[in-house]
Amino acid sequence: MIEIERKFLVISLDFIAESSAQHAIAQGYLNSDPERTVRIRIKGEKGYITIKGSGNERGTSRMEWEKVISLEEAKSLLKLCEQGVIEKTRYEVKSGKHTIEIDVFHGENEGLIMAEVELEDENEAILKPNWLGKEVTGDKRYYNSYISLYPFNKW
């Protein structure tokens, strides 16, 4: 139940041609406290509830528990979420043994494009495509729970 990931800003749209899948995502937070976020997500035709704990010192690892819920449950729970439901399109790109997930944000977070790479070990090397920019792992401004409350276009 430990998630290990690194986050990067994306500096070009070159990843789109390399992507193997794309999904529309809507997500909101029942609780955006960094110590215990509770997220509701709709990805395609599936719903999810996710609970995340606080991250380690570097921001690479934290507890994560996720369960699939029905689409109807997810739609109902999204209505109960705090302000700032996030809408984004997620692209998936294979890079070596990893899949990079790139989120293109819409609405009040338009202009923000971030990539995440899930790892098995914090010190694991990753193949970085040329469209990956500055690493923002551990920078709380780039947590989805943060941008739901403080949208990117108001920074």
The catalytic residue positions are: 29
Q: List CB contacts of 48: < 8 A, sequence separation 6 or more.
A: 39, 40, 41, 42, 66, 67, 68, 69, 74
Q: List CB contacts of 137: < 8 A, sequence separation 6 or more.
A: 5, 6, 7, 8, 58, 59, 60
